[in-house]
C-alpha cells in the first residue's frame, strides 16, 4: 500500500513509529505536513496537492491532527475522503472528538457513564450550574482545551463562582463537571483499535496535582482493566465513529466514567508503559479494512 501520514512533526515518536511499522510490513509510506497540503475543491476531480505535485495513488491516510490545527486538518482529511481514500479516522469523527461538549452529548446518547456535567452561557446562571454539577469541589474545563491545560479544580463554591465568571468574562466556552474524588489523581487510558482495547495504562498525577496528563508531569504504568471498562472504552470510540482512539476513563464508585475520547492518541506513553507494538497493530488494521470499508462518510461532514 501507499500510506500517507498527515503530521506536522515527522520526528515525533508517534510519527516515527508509524513510519517504521508501515515499512516493516512492506508498505511505502510518506509523511505529509498537513498545513502544506492544498486542494482544489471541484465536484468531478477533487485533488490534494503537496509541494507542487498532486498527491495521488494513496491507498490510506493516517491523520495525526493536532488540536491547534483541527479546522484545516479536518478539511484536508475530508478532501481525501471525497477522493475515496481510506482514512484511519474520518474527519467528522475527529471534529466530534475535539469538542468536549459535543463528545459528551454523543456519549450520553449511547448511555455511556460520565461525570455529571453542566454547561451554560450566562454568568447569571452560575449558581444553579454549580448545583447541577453536584456542588464544590468541582472541575471547570475549557471546551477546547488539551493536555490538561484549561482544566481547573475549584475546591469551594466561592472559588468555583470566581473561576467560572472569569472564564465567561473572557468569552471562553466552559463546562462544569462533578469532581470524581475516588479517581484520586488517576485515570486509565484505553487504546482502542477497531472493536478492541489493544492496550491500557494507568496514569497517575504527580504529587499535589489532580490531572493525570503525562504533559502535566503524570506517570504511566501497565494496568489490567475490567471487562466493564473494556466494553465502555470500545463503546465510547464507536459512539464517536473513531477507528483508533484513546479513551480516558476515571474509576468511580459508580463504575467507569469516560472523560475524554482522543482521536490522535500518542503512542510513546502507551507503547513504553505496556511494551506493545501499537504502531504495527494500527498498520495491520489498515491492511484489513482499507478495501472493505473504504470511507464511510465520503467527506459528508
Ligand atoms: P484534557 O483534554 O486537557 O486532557 P481532560 O478532561 O482529559 O482534559 O482532563 C485532564 C485530567 O484531569 C484527566 O486526565 C483526569 O486525570 C483529570 N480530570 C478530568 N476531569 C475530572 C473529573 N471530573 N474528576 C476528577 N478528575 C478529573
Ligand atoms: Mg485528557
245 CA to centre of ligand 2 in angstroms:
12
Q: Confidence band (pLDDT; 50, 70, 90) for 27? A: very high
Task: Indicate the pairing of strand 244-252 with strand 255-262.
Answer: antiparallel
123 CA to centre of ligand 1 in angstroms:
23
**Closest-lying ligand 1 atom to the alpha carbon of residue 183:** 25
Looking at all shown ligands, the one closest to residue 149's CA atom is: 1
148 CA to centre of ligand 1 in angstroms:
7
pLDDT at 215: 87
Q: Confidence band (pLDDT; 50, 70, 90) for 297? A: low
Q: Rounded to whole angstroms, how far apart are CA atoms 188 and 130?
A: 26
pLDDT at 294: 54
Whether pLDDT at 34 is above 80 = yes
Task: Tell the residue nearest (CA) to atom 12 of ligand 1.
Answer: 211
Domains contained in the chain, CATH given: 2-96 (3.40.50.20), 97-111+182-287 (3.30.470.20), 117-179 (3.30.1490.20)
Asked if 4 and 55 touch (Cβ cutoff 8 Å), the reply is yes
- By the 10 Å C-beta count (0-12 exposed, 13-18 middle, 19+ buried), 41 is classed as exposed
pLDDT at 41: 84
Does 297 sit in the ligand 1 pocket, CB within 6 Å? no
Among 1-5, 142-146, 221-225, 273-277, the range scoring the smallest mean pLDDT is: 142-146
Whether pLDDT at 172 is above 70 = yes
Cβ neighbours for 91, distance < 8 A, ≥ 6 positions apart = 63, 74, 75, 77, 78, 81, 297, 299, 301
Q: Rounded to whole angstroms, how far apart are CA atoms 144 and 80?
A: 25
The residue among 16 and 134 whose pLDDT is bigger is: 16
Residues flanking ion ligand 2, Cβ below 5 Å: 260
Give the whole-number percent of the chain exceeding pLDDT 90: 84
Nearest to 157 by CA among 185, 132, 184: 132
pLDDT at 44: 83
- For a ligand 1 pocket test, name from 68, 102, 148 the mutation site with the most ligand atoms within 8 angstroms of its C-beta: 148
Task: Indicate the pairing of strand 255-262 with strand 2-6.
Answer: unpaired
47 CA to centre of ligand 2 in angstroms:
34
139 CA to centre of ligand 1 in angstroms:
8
Cβ count near 266 (within 10 Å): 18
Task: Tell the residue nearest (CA) to atom 13 of ligand 1.
Answer: 211
Q: What is the largest CA-CA distance in the chain?
A: 60
Region of 84 please: left (phi>0), alpha (psi -120 to 50) or beta: left
pTM of this structure: 0.94
The residue among 120 and 16 whose pLDDT is bigger is: 16
The residue among 152 and 121 whose pLDDT is bigger is: 152
> In terms of residues, how long is the chain?
301
Extract the C-alpha cell encoding 268.
510513546
pLDDT at 122: 86
**Closest-lying ligand 1 atom to the alpha carbon of residue 115:** 23
pLDDT at 269: 94
Looking at all shown ligands, the one closest to residue 147's CA atom is: 1
pLDDT at 293: 56
Return mean pLDDT, the chain: 93
Whether pLDDT at 296 is above 70 = no
Task: Tell the residue nearest (CA) to atom 25 of ligand 1.
Answer: 180
pLDDT at 154: 96
Distance of CA 195 to the CA centre of its chain: 16
Whether pLDDT at 25 is above 90 = yes
Amino acid at each position: 500500500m501507499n500510506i500517507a501520514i498527515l503530521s506536522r512533526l515527522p520526528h515525533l515518536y508517534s510519527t516515527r513509529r508509524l513510519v517504521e511499522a508501515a515499512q516493516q510490513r512492506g508498505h511505502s509510506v510518506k509523511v505529509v505536513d498537513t498545513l502544506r497540503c492544498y486542494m482544489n475543491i471541484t465536484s468531478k476531480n477533487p485533488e490534494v496537492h503537496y509541494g507542487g505535485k498532486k498527491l495521488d495513488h494513496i491507498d490510506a491516510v493516517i491523520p495525526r491532527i493536532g488540536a491547534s490545527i483541527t479546522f484545516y486538518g479536518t478539511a484536508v482529511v475530508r478532501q481525501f475522503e471525497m477522493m475515496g481514500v481510506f482514512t484511519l479516522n474520518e474527519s467528522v469523527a475527529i471534529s466530534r472528538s475535539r469538542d468536549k461538549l459535543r463528545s459528551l452529548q454523543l456519549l450520553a446518547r449511547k448511555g455511556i457513564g460520565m461525570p455529571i456535567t453542566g454547561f451554560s452561557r450566562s454568568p447569571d446562571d452560575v449558581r444553579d450550574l454549580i448545583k447541577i454539577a453536584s456542588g464544590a469541589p468541582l472541575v471547570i474545563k475549557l471546551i477546547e482545551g488539551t493536555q490538561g491545560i484549561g482544566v481547573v479544580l475549584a475546591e469551594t463554591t466561592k472559588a468555583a463562582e470566581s473561576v467560572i465568571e472569569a472564564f465567561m468574562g473572557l468569552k471562553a466556552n466552559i463546562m462544569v463537571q462533578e469532581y470524581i474524588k475516588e479517581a484520586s489523581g488517576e485515570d486509565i487510558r484505553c487504546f482502542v483499535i477497531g472493536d478492541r482495547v489493544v492496550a491500557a495504562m494507568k496514569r497517575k498525577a504527580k504529587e499535589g496535582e489532580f490531572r493525570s496528563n503525562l504533559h502535566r508531569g503524570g506517570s504511566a504504568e501497565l494496568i489490567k482493566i475490567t471487562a466493564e471498562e473494556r466494553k465502555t472504552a470500545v463503546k465510547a470510540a464507536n459512539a464517536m465513529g473513531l477507528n483508533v482512539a484513546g479513551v480516558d476513563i476515571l474509576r468511580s464508585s459508580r463504575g467507569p466514567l469516560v472523560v475524554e475520547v482522543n482521536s490522535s492518541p500518542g503512542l510513546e506513553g502507551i507503547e513504553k508503559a505496556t511494551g506493545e507494538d501499537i504502531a504495527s497493530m494500527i498498520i495491520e488494521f489498515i491492511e484489513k479494512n482499507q478495501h472493505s470499508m473504504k470511507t464511510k462518510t465520503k467527506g459528508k461532514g
